[in-house]
Structures are given as C-alpha cells and as structure tokens.
Amino acid sequence: MGMNDWVGNSLMGLRGESRGETGATHELTEEKQETFHFTIGPYTDPVMTARPGDRIVVETRDAFSGKIKTEQDKPSEKIRMPFANPQNGPIMIEGAEPGDALAVHIESMRPRGPQPRGTCAMIPEFGALTGTYYTATLNDPLPEVVRKVHVTEETVEWSDRVTLPYKPHIGTLSCSPEIDSISSLTPDNHGGNMDLPDMGPGTVTYLPVRVPGARLFIGDAHACQGDGEVCGVAVEHASLTTIRVDVIKGWTIEWPRLESDEMIMAIGSARPLEDATRIAYRELIRWMVADHGFDQWDAYMMLSQCGRVRLGNFVDPKYTVGAAVSKKYLAQ
Amino acid sequence: MGMNDWVGNSLMGLRGESRGETGATHELTEEKQETFHFTIGPYTDPVMTARPGDRIVVETRDAFSGKIKTEQDKPSEKIRMPFANPQNGPIMIEGAEPGDALAVHIESMRPRGPQPRGTCAMIPEFGALTGTYYTATLNDPLPEVVRKVHVTEETVEWSDRVTLPYKPHIGTLSCSPEIDSISSLTPDNHGGNMDLPDMGPGTVTYLPVRVPGARLFIGDAHACQGDGEVCGVAVEHASLTTIRVDVIKGWTIEWPRLESDEMIMAIGSARPLEDATRIAYRELIRWMVADHGFDQWDAYMMLSQCGRVRLGNFVDPKYTVGAAVSKKYLAQ
Amino acid sequence: MGMNDWVGNSLMGLRGESRGETGATHELTEEKQETFHFTIGPYTDPVMTARPGDRIVVETRDAFSGKIKTEQDKPSEKIRMPFANPQNGPIMIEGAEPGDALAVHIESMRPRGPQPRGTCAMIPEFGALTGTYYTATLNDPLPEVVRKVHVTEETVEWSDRVTLPYKPHIGTLSCSPEIDSISSLTPDNHGGNMDLPDMGPGTVTYLPVRVPGARLFIGDAHACQGDGEVCGVAVEHASLTTIRVDVIKGWTIEWPRLESDEMIMAIGSARPLEDATRIAYRELIRWMVADHGFDQWDAYMMLSQCGRVRLGNFVDPKYTVGAAVSKKYLAQ
Amino acid sequence: MGMNDWVGNSLMGLRGESRGETGATHELTEEKQETFHFTIGPYTDPVMTARPGDRIVVETRDAFSGKIKTEQDKPSEKIRMPFANPQNGPIMIEGAEPGDALAVHIESMRPRGPQPRGTCAMIPEFGALTGTYYTATLNDPLPEVVRKVHVTEETVEWSDRVTLPYKPHIGTLSCSPEIDSISSLTPDNHGGNMDLPDMGPGTVTYLPVRVPGARLFIGDAHACQGDGEVCGVAVEHASLTTIRVDVIKGWTIEWPRLESDEMIMAIGSARPLEDATRIAYRELIRWMVADHGFDQWDAYMMLSQCGRVRLGNFVDPKYTVGAAVSKKYLAQ
C-alpha cells in the first residue's frame, strides 16, 4: 500500500470540495515563478490559479536561492538579508474564502539540481547554540562553516562517517495573512517557516485561509532535519515537490494542522518555546473536542498520558512545535 | 527653560540634515489621512511628504478608532481584529535612505475629542495577567470591562479615588520595514507598538530607515501608562501631536533609540522579555562605544552599576524594553 | 533477546566499577524507607548502602503518597505543599565520589497496590494550559478533577473509550546536590523531577555525583506519560522498581544523561523551554566530542539533521528536555 | 527629616509586634558569624536570636568572600562554585511563626574594609550578554575582567572618567524555606538573591516566614547597581549594615514585599522575565485589594496606567522584578 493511500479517508478526503477527484496538473517551474518571494502576504501578484483537487508540481529553490555552490561560498557574503528562504507562489485557489481551511497534500518530493545538491551552514549569530540577533550577546560569533552534501532520493551523504536517510519535507508553507506580510523566515499562525520534519510526503497540512483565494506560498525543502534544526540550517536543497490542494469550506482553524495516516497534529509557533507548545496542545484539544467528540478535560488529561510533541525549529524568530495524538486513540 | 530647549544639542540638533532649521509646518488631519493603517510596511500610498526640519501636526486616533464611546461598548464587539491601533502615515521624508536614521522630535501632545476622551479596557485573552492568544490556556477569560476616563491637559481622572497626571506619549512610531508589513500591534526593530512611556513631548526618537523616504507611521497616543501596560491597554486617547522630523545621514542603527535632556536609551523588542532587555543593553553599549568613546567592556561593566531599564509593554506580540544611561556619565 | 541484554555493552557495562558483575540484591520496602523525602539534598539520613553492581528493589509510592484513593479526594485538600512527590532514599553508593557519575539501570518496573492504582488529576494553578504559581494570572483556576485509573502490567484503562499501553518510567531520579536541598518537584542539573518518558525499563541513566556516596533518591513512577505531561500529572502509581547501580569513576558530567539500546541522550532542565533544549543539545555535543570522536562543529551541524528531542515536562518549576542521537550514527 | 522617620507609619511600624519600640542592639561581627553560608535553608545552626524591635549590626562580606583583592585575582580561580555570595545568619526571631511576615528595616549601610573595597567582574559564562550555564551556547566566553573600585560613603570611583554615587543596598535577604535549602545565588519566593537596588537604607522589606523563628539570612551588599545587573556583578563590597527586625503576626504573604516612604512594591523572581513581572504585579494587586480596599479589576487597570517596574537582576538562575505603586494613589 502506498504512503498516500490513506488520504481518501483523511479530513481532506472526506470534507474537501474536490470530493476526492483529482483535477488538472499544473507545473510551477522556476521559469514560471520568475520572481521568488521573501515575504508572505497579500501584496504580490499571483503566479497561477488552481482548483480544489488540482495537483501542482513545484520547482522549489533551496533556502539560499542556489547561491551557495561550494564550501567557500559564505552565506554572509552571498545572501543579503532579508532575502533568504525564497518562496514559490502565491497560488490562488478557487473558492477559498476567509474562514475556510486550505488542505495541502504533499504527494511526493525529490531532489533536483547538480550535485552536491545539499547545503548546510553555520551562519554568524544564527542557530540555537549561539548568541543571535534576538538573544543578543557580546560573544564572538561562531565560525562560518559551509557543508555541501551529496543528496539522492535515498540518502544524504553527510560525512565520510555518517550517511543519513533522505527524509524530505517542506520547511515553509503558508496562506497569506489578511493585511500583514511576514518574512519567509518567520512562522506564525499563517504557517510560514515551521521547519517541521513531519511535513513530508504522505501527509496533509491544513492552513487557515484569511484572504480570498488563500494565496498559497511554498518553499524551503529539506533533505532531512533533526528536531529543533539546532545549528539553524537543515540540509537545504532544491526540490521537485508535488502537492494536491483542496478547500475545506467553513472549517475555521486558527493555526496550521497536520494529518498523517497515524496521527493528527496541531502546530503552534511562538516564543518562548513553552508558548509554542501551549498553543499546539490547546489547538489539539480544540480539534479533539470539535471533531472527535471528546470532553475538554478528558482530552487535556489524556494528552498528559499520550500526547506526542515534535519540535520544529527553535532557531527562527518564532519557534515551532507540533502536538499530536495517535489516531488509534481517537476512534470511538 | 522649556522642555524642548535642549534639542539643539541633541544628536538630532547636531547631526540632522536640517542644521537645526525648522522648515514648513504640515497638518495631518483625520480628513487628510482619510484611511488609517493597521499594518506598517512599504505597500501603502504616502499621505504626505516632508523635508528634514519640517514640523507635522498630527491628529491621531485612539487605539480603538474612536469606537468605544461608552462603558457599554465592548472592544470584542466593536473591533474586528487585526483592525486595532490605527496609524497615521506613511509620511515620506525627503532624502531619507536606507542606512540613515530618522529623528522624530515630539514637541507637544494634547488630547482632543469629546469627553470622556480616555479609554481603558480589559479585553478577553489580552493583557499580562491572563492567558492570551500566545500564552494559550484553558481558563475562562477575565471579564471584559471598559473604563471611560475624563482627560485634560493636566489630569487623567481615573476614578473617584485616584487622579493621575497627564503624561502623554506616543505608543507606536515606525519607519517601514524593507519588504515586510507588520501589524501595528507588534513592535520590532522597525519601531512599532513599543508603548514606552518615555516617548513623550521633549524627547527625540531615532528610527532605522529601511526604504527610500523612510515612510513614517505614527499613532497610539496614551494619556498615561504604567510600566508594562499590565492590563494590555493604557488610557488611550485621540491626540494632537506635533513632531519635527530630521534625517541623520549615514547613522545606521539596528533598533530604535531615544534621547532626552537627561539620558540616552536603546530600545529592544522581543520575547521572552530577557531577550528584549538583552537587545536594549547591547545596543546601548554599541552606542556608547561608537559615539561616546567607551571601551566595550568598560561600558558593559559600568551599565551593570548605573544602567536604567524602562519596561514598555509586556502584553503585545513582542515585549519592549528601553535601556538607558544618564548623560552625566557620558561626558568626557 | 531481552530488553536489558544490551546493557553489557553500554557505557555502564564497559566502564562501571562492577565490571558487569551483579552483586547483592537489596530490598527498599516502604517499611524500610519509613520516612519518604520531599527535598533532595545532603541533610537526610541514608536508608541503606549499596555497592557498584548491586541490585535494589524499590517500593516507590505514588506522587500523592497514596492519599488520593477515590475521585472525590482532592489533591488541594489531601496534600499540603511542599509535601508532594515522595522519594525513596538516600541510598549511599560505596566508592562514589564527586566527579564520578552514578549509573542507574532500570531493570524492571511493575505496578503495585490495590486497584484502581493509577491517579491523574487537574490541580488548581498547576499544569501547562493554565495560569500557575509562576505564570501568575488573575483567571479563575481550572476545575479540580481527579481520575482514578485501573493499571495492569499491560494496560492503563484510561476511559471507556481509550485504553493506553502500560509504559512505565521513573519521573524523579537524583543524586544529591553538594550543599543545596531541592524540592522533589523540581528538576535541575542533579536530576530531580525530569518526567522523561524514556527513563523506563531497559535504559541506563547517568547522574553527576556531587557528594561522597552519591546519595541516590528515586520515586515518582508513571504508568504512562505524554510528552510535556501537559495537565501536570501523569498516571501516577506505586511501583516495584528494580534498579542496578554502578559507578563510572572519573566520568564527570554536568547534567544527567541516558542511554538505551538505540540512542544516547543528554538531559537539560531550565526555563524557558529553549534553555532546557539548549543545555540538552550542548551536553549531547560535548558527549559526542569527548567519547565518540566527533569534531564539535561536525556534531553541531549533524544534529541539526538527525538530532531527536523528547520533551519531558513543561509544567514543573523547571522544564526538561532530552536531546538524543541514534547510536547508528555514532559508530565509526 | 531623616530617611527613616516615615517608618513609624509603615506597615512594620503600625502592625509590628514591637509596637515601634526599639529593643536591644546585637552585633553580628565576622568573628561571631564564623561560618558564612552559601545555601539558605533550615539545616544550619542559628548564629543568634533577636526579638521583634531589636537592632542588628551586621558585618557582611562581599560576594567573593573578600578573595578578589587585586585586578589580577580571577574569580574563576579564587572561587569554587557554589561557594559564592556568603550569607550571615541564620538569625532566629522570637515569635516568628509560619504564616507571619518578617519585617526588615534597613536603617543604614556603610562600606568597610581596606581600599579599593569595591569589586566588579566579568566572569566566564555569567551575565546577561553572554552565553551562560543555563542559556548554553558554543561561543567562546567573554574575557574574564576584574575591576577594583574605590568606595566611600559618598562615591564609587568607577573610572578616571566616571564617578558614581554610593547607593548601597542589600542584594540577598531571606527567611528559610520550609524544607528546601536554596543556593544563595538564586532568588525565589523566600527572597534570596534579588539584587534589587531599592532594597537600601530607609526601606522595609517583608519576607514570608516558613519555619519557626524565621531564620533570617542577609548578605551581598552592593555599593551601587544598575537595573538588571547586566554584567552579572554589582560593585560588591563588605558592609556594616544595620537592620531592625519585626514580626507581623498573621500577615501571610507568598512573595517578598518592600515599602518605602514613597511606594509599596511586590517582588517576583522567576524565568522567563515576564513570569517574574507577572508575579510581582499579581502580588501587588493582591496587596492593594487586601490592605488598601481596591477592587481587583480597578487595581489591575489602574496599574496599567501608573504601575512602576524595577528590574532587579536578569543574570541569576531566576530573575527578579519589583512592581510598585506610589503611596499617593493608595490614599483614600
């Protein structure tokens, strides 16, 4: 059985406007995208329009816009902030209105571009184990180090010593806020730069729609990532990512949510990290109450016994946490 | 001696493009403003242009856009988020370029509009001593309470028991970010909703310029405010605020700064609150080193003995702290 | 193969003073313990002495000292703070000296006492989704709710709807600080109330020794627990817990560490939660550098790709995080 | 009028057991103290007993126990942790029982010992603008720098350039916790290392009594200190500190409080810093409601207009904040 076969029984499959019908396939190549975006908001021109059920094959760029080609290319010299983490989009989704949720099923991801395709780096005053722009210290910054990595559809050849499995996922996924335009480096209630390793092929992400047409942005593919993205950078790579979109009418969610074959997860992004975790757990409880018939206090106490937490990143301007519960405990 | 007399010797007075010459006076009435803004960014049409040294008399609206007229008007019913905290502007400043600083001297503030002009409120899930949107809890929210307050140029008649002095200041002051557009409720390195009681008549605020023309936004006048703005709301009121603007060419600052006759202050906004404080102190040290000839470690250790911290708000999406040092310790 | 078979190849197995020899078996019954402790420090009388390699069978009490017998027994009435979370011990370990590490292999755990043995509760101003003693709000507290749960060696019968697997672990495990005595509700660098679900049968925990004889405390068995222990309480139960202790001479660690057949984990406890996570990751890097031959920057960047984070609790006075790496990436 | 004349009308003056009568004067010399303490708890032998109304003249040592005599003496070499911040005491107070408050009126402080008496330092991984033990980073530590300072009863001769006024205060003041013993470097609800510049001559501090006799500890005199004690160290000096103690029977407070001629202040210590601020403001509201006849919501909203926040330290294991309101707004 394929990793996407369960999706027909997902909330997307059961309540999406497409009724499970796959529509047209669109290609969002680098050429078609032309101008990538570094801020996520309502002020940019749409790059295409899709209908519920449509499939979109997206050529994402890596977080450095491909400018780090060798281990001698320093991010601090090649990238002028805030022009990091380029996004494809915005893609308009027909029929999506404020108060709906946009469902994004990631069907597949694969690496593209010349080897070594993967890039990791230590960037001055960025990352979790260093003074940063917001956790301001007087210490000398850590050294700037670039690691170029060979990435295939199976493996990430980290070093002579260690080979990691290829576990791709999308780092940044968003609909547009209503009037704000938010840096593609920042996650918040619109989605954004969540860097959550669960957000990979075979899963469905639900995003709150806040403007007509939703205005979907997508980018920041990772070949793999540890919990917390501790040095600040995953194995960043250009990808060919295939998604299928759908609209859940009238399902109003305040924060992004994610569904897999095994679990449902609510996602919060905030500082400090406990606030991100609080948001994620409160939203998960609300979901269990609204859609799975749980009493609020029963859900709260039960998650104290079986809730699962996944740390996205704790390096961005806001940190991201997913709180999840196994579907086997949701069945009635 | 007037409270503004010292300004000729301020950094604005000494290094501003106007050479201390006051230029034209502009009036930014409600009618001229027409559309107030709830997001601070580069995507809105300028409302006027001023030159360095010009004076601008601004009719600011209160944070509720004047919709809370009685104690029966509930913010949760009258205000649809994110449409709180209306801003005048953007005002284009001739000659301001990225890398410069914009100086804003608040010359005077006075209340306007029919009595009771002042509004305070407890708003559900907003404020410091309650669960909030970001510090998510399952508790019932606090009651929604509105207090209308008589405000004159001398006093804030808080209650039968307590009369407070009128201590006006500007809650929200910003230049535009380069590509982001940020909610007028959020402070960050562009300025924004800092809610710092020091930012009143007789002081000069310096803001980083990140787009040509600076795009100055101003709003959110407070008749008075305690440190931290603990319930989430000051005595909000419509004001007539007179500012004089200037441009400090080539003075590149990363965060807002403030100068009074007595002290210099650097301002940081972040979560958690210690990060806001770290930013403020690091920026203050950088200022002392760059412009006042201090050794870095001497400044750091000396501020440990005489630095002064003012808490702006700890209720907004980011918290604001000012770190200051008396000018008497800067003299050589 | 049994879940403990790997321990011979653990750091405990290879470097422990017992040379893998199992010594005497001691029984630490409730009667022998007599007085349970609610603070962890150097000021209490030892309850027994063991040698490296010895096995100790401990009768732990539940976190409420067995006083919550029915769902009508309210913790706020039955427990006077700070007398929650009773600890067995201190057990003196022969030969343990400051600068050594104590290894505690949990061989097995099983529930004891009359059914329903398990207790969960919502306690006023305690837990993650409520105002608390330290995150002080003016909201009314959540209702006080007690859940008594049938617990066997296989299952936790949570509700009519949900049965959870029995996944026992030790919530609180410590050696004594040098001069402080720390509430058994608080985790810190000595160990303490970490509430880490990984700390169950088949794993080895390493604790820093700070006083001669180590002074081992143990308690707070959980029948199961979700990440974060979100409502503040796990399924607390009295247990029969069998441990085997050993001493790693001259292995000086600053924070607790854990080893399983699959991974090594460093444990940090602090507020805010990002600080706990920072500690855990820094300690993990130090471990990889010191004992597994990694370069510091290589380890840092690699954990950004494959580190795993487990949230212990984010409800105690300090929060606990474990950062882990799979042993398969440690092999050379 | 002297700075202590108001004390007769303080809560101590009006409700203290001594009825305003000054009793015996005790001298707690270094010789009498003999063994200074680095942990604050119930496990140490009392050094003397005093009655309500008695005066005690205390010879405090500086935070480095006098071991930093020159700028070549490095704290990292001279001080073995946790043996920093020596405390005098415990002083038993007759009649103090759990549920009472201990009042400590600081009548005077003056420096003692050979010049240069004052010591400031930058200590590796300690302070606000550096990675630390709890905010763990991989950066190289800041340089270790010691500054010896000439201190008189009028001035602190900081540098050739800057002379600061002598503004002495007590950094660490505590009664004993019930069963825990807490590092003298850590503040919490018992008091401890609050480093609050307000706690100087002419003020009264109220501490919760948790064990019979209160067990008062005192130490850590500062010649001056900035808000936040940003480099981690004030101008530490040995002092002759004269206090007068009293007992407020049945006045049960949860956190320390402070009263001056001008204001009342509640003190919170926690991480993150917003939690310390929340505690301080909640306790201040509770005080205004219980003893000054305010309605809870009126107090909350009014403090949003006139509350004053003083940052103690944000460098210790917990951070300290005082929230205050002017007495002129308390009068009815």
Contacts of D35 (CB under 8 A, 6+ apart): none
Q: Report the residue from D135, D282, D285 with minimal CB separation from C278.
A: D135
Cβ atoms A17, A245 nearer than 8 A: no
Q: What angle do CA A278, A264, C203 make, to 5 degrees?
A: 75
How much is the average pLDDT of B246-266?
Answer: 98
Q: How far is Cα B51 from Cα B49, in angstroms, rounded to an integer?
A: 7
Which chains would you list as touching C if contact means 3+ CB atom pairs under 8 Å?
A: A, B, D
Could you tell me if residue B302 is inside a domain? no
Question: Between β-strands B25-28 and B55-60, what pairing exists: parallel, antiparallel or unpaired?
Answer: parallel
Cβ atoms A217, A174 nearer than 8 A: yes
What number of C-beta contacts closer than 8 Å exist between B and D?
A: 165
CA distances to B35, C119, D332 from B93, in Å: 19, 66, 50
Q: What angle do CA D153, D157, D159 make, to 5 degrees?
A: 170
How much is the average pLDDT of B198-210?
Answer: 98
What is the number of other CB atoms lying within 10 angstroms of the CB of residue A190? 25
Q: For C57, phi and psi rounded to 5 degrees?
A: -105, 115
The alpha carbons of chain C give a radius of gyration, in whole angstroms, of 19
| Residue A217 pLDDT greater than 70, yes or no | yes
Contacts of C117 (CB under 8 A, 6+ apart): C62, C111, C149, C150, C151, C223, C237, C238
Tell me whether residues A306 and C143 touch, CB distance under 8 A: no
Q: For C109, phi and psi rounded to 5 degrees?
A: -140, 140
In sequence order, the β-bridge partners of residue C60 are: C239
Q: How far is Cα B6 from Cα B28, in angstroms, rounded to an integer?
A: 26
Q: Report the residue from C271, C282, C300 with minimal CB separation from D272.
A: C271
Q: How far is Cα D224 from Cα C161, in angstroms, rounded to an integer?
A: 63
Could you tell me if residue C290 is inside a domain? no
Closest-CA residue of chain B to A283 = B136
Q: How far is Cα C219 from Cα C30, in angstroms, rounded to an integer?
A: 12
Helices assigned H by DSSP within B10-110: 11-15, 30-33, 75-78
Strands of A19-137 (E only): list them: 25-28, 39-40, 48-50, 55-60, 87-93, 101-111, 118-122
Q: How far is Cα C165 from Cα C157, in angstroms, rounded to an integer?
A: 8
pLDDT of residue A325: 98
Measured over the CA atoms of residue A145, residue A150, residue A155 and residue A157, the dihedral's sign is negative
Tell me whether residues A129 and D135 touch, CB distance under 8 A: no
Cβ atoms A196, A267 nearer than 8 A: yes
Total of domains in chain A = 1
Residue bearing tokens 């806040």: A210
Q: Strand order in D257-259's β-sheet? A: D25-28, D55-60, D239-248, D101-111, D203-208, D257-259, D263-270, D319-326, D308-311
| Residue D332 pLDDT greater than 90, yes or no | no
Cβ atoms B41, B133 nearer than 8 A: no
Which residue stretches of chain C have pLDDT < 70? Answer: 1, 332
Cα torsion C32, C38, C42, C44 to 10°: value is -40
Q: Which two tokens stand for residue A246?
A: 């759908």
CA-nearest of A140, A150, A160 to C298 is: A160
pLDDT of residue A331: 86
pLDDT of residue A289: 98
Q: How far is Cα A190 from Cα A177, in angstroms, rounded to an integer?
A: 6
User: Could you read off the pLDDT of B295-317 as tens digits, one per residue?
Assistant: 999 999 999 999 999 999 999 99
What is the number of other CB atoms lying within 10 angstroms of the CB of residue B114? 8
Does the CB of C38 have a partner CB in chain D at under 8 Å?
A: yes
DSSP state letters, A184-235 = TT-EETTEEE---TT-STTEEEEEE--STT--EEEEEEES---TB-TTS---
Could you tell me if residue C327 is inside a domain? no
State the residue range of the domain holding B240. 5-250
pLDDT of residue A143: 98
User: Could you read off the pLDDT of A51-100 as tens digits, one per residue?
Assistant: 999 999 999 999 999 999 999 999 999 999 999 999 999 999 999 999 99
Does the CB of C272 have a partner CB in chain B at under 8 Å?
A: yes
Could you tell me if residue A149 is inside a domain? yes
Q: What confidence tier does A1 reach under pLDDT thresholds 50, 70, 90?
A: low
pLDDT of residue D1: 65
Could you tell me if residue B148 is inside a domain? yes
Q: Give the minimum alpha-carbon distance from C32 to chain B in angstroms, rounded to a whole number.
A: 43
Does the CB of D182 have a partner CB in chain C at under 8 Å?
A: yes
How much is the average pLDDT of B181-198?
Answer: 98
Q: How far is Cα D167 from Cα D156, in angstroms, rounded to an integer?
A: 9
Does the CB of B319 have a partner CB in chain D at under 8 Å?
A: yes
| Residue B163 pLDDT greater than 80, yes or no | yes
Domain with residue A206: its CATH number is 2.60.120.580
Residues of C in contact with B142 (CB under 8 A): 138-139
| Residue B275 pLDDT greater than 80, yes or no | yes
Residues of B in contact with D225 (CB under 8 A): 304-305
Could you tell me if residue A55 is inside a domain? yes
Residue type, A201: P
CA distances to A124, A238, C322 from C99, in Å: 35, 48, 22
Does the CB of B275 have a partner CB in chain A at under 8 Å?
A: yes
CB burial of residue D65 (10 Å; 0-12, 13-18, 19+):
middle
Q: Strand order in B48-50's β-sheet? A: B48-50, B87-93, B216-222, B169-174, B191-193, B187-188
Q: Which two tokens stand for residue D308?
A: 């004053």
Interface of B with A in 142-161 (CB under 8 A): none
CA distances to B158, B200, D147, D279 from D284, in Å: 18, 27, 37, 8
Residue type, B225: Q
Does the CB of D272 have a partner CB in chain A at under 8 Å?
A: yes
User: Could you read off the pLDDT of D264-313 as tens digits, one per residue?
Assistant: 999 999 999 999 999 999 999 999 999 999 999 999 999 999 999 999 99
Q: How far is Cα B61 from Cα B98, in angstroms, rounded to an integer?
A: 29
User: Could you read off the pLDDT of D42-54 as tens digits, one per residue?
Assistant: 999 999 999 999 9
pLDDT of residue C1: 64
Contacts of C295 (CB under 8 A, 6+ apart): C289
Contacts of B251 (CB under 8 A, 6+ apart): B11, B15, B100, B101, B206
Q: For C305, phi and psi rounded to 5 degrees?
A: -105, -25
Q: Give the minimum alpha-carbon distance from B313 to chain C in angstroms, rounded to a whole number.
A: 16
Cβ atoms A277, A323 nearer than 8 A: yes
Q: How many Cα atoms occupy the beta-carbon half-sphere of D162 within 13 Å?
A: 22
Does the CB of D138 have a partner CB in chain A at under 8 Å?
A: yes
User: Could you read off the pLDDT of D102-144 as tens digits, one per residue?
Assistant: 999 999 999 999 999 999 999 999 999 999 999 999 999 999 9
How much is the average pLDDT of D146-174?
Answer: 98
Measured over the CA atoms of residue D111, residue D112, residue D114 and residue D117, the dihedral's sign is negative
Residue bearing tokens 């296989």: C154
Q: Give the minimum alpha-carbon distance from C279 to chain D in angstroms, rounded to a whole number.
A: 5
Tell me whether residues D278 and C178 touch, CB distance under 8 A: no
Q: Strand order in C216-222's β-sheet? A: C48-50, C87-93, C216-222, C169-174, C191-193, C187-188
pLDDT of residue B331: 86
| pTM for this predicted structure | 0.98
Contacts of B161 (CB under 8 A, 6+ apart): D332
Residue type, B50: A
Q: Which two tokens stand for residue B46?
A: 């300028």
Could you tell me if residue B213 is inside a domain? yes
Tell me whether residues D136 and A129 touch, CB distance under 8 A: yes
CB burial of residue D271 (10 Å; 0-12, 13-18, 19+):
buried
Residues of A in contact with B300 (CB under 8 A): 138
Could you tell me if residue B255 is inside a domain? no
DSSP state letters, A6-53 = GGGGSHHHHH-TTTT----EEEE-HHHH-S-BSEESSSS---EEE-TT
In sequence order, the β-bridge partners of residue D26 are: D56
CA-nearest of C269, C239, C257, C225 to C324 is: C257
CB burial of residue A165 (10 Å; 0-12, 13-18, 19+):
exposed
What is the number of other CB atoms lying within 10 angstroms of the CB of residue C332? 8
Q: Report the residue from D135, D270, D296 with minimal CB separation from C138.
A: D296
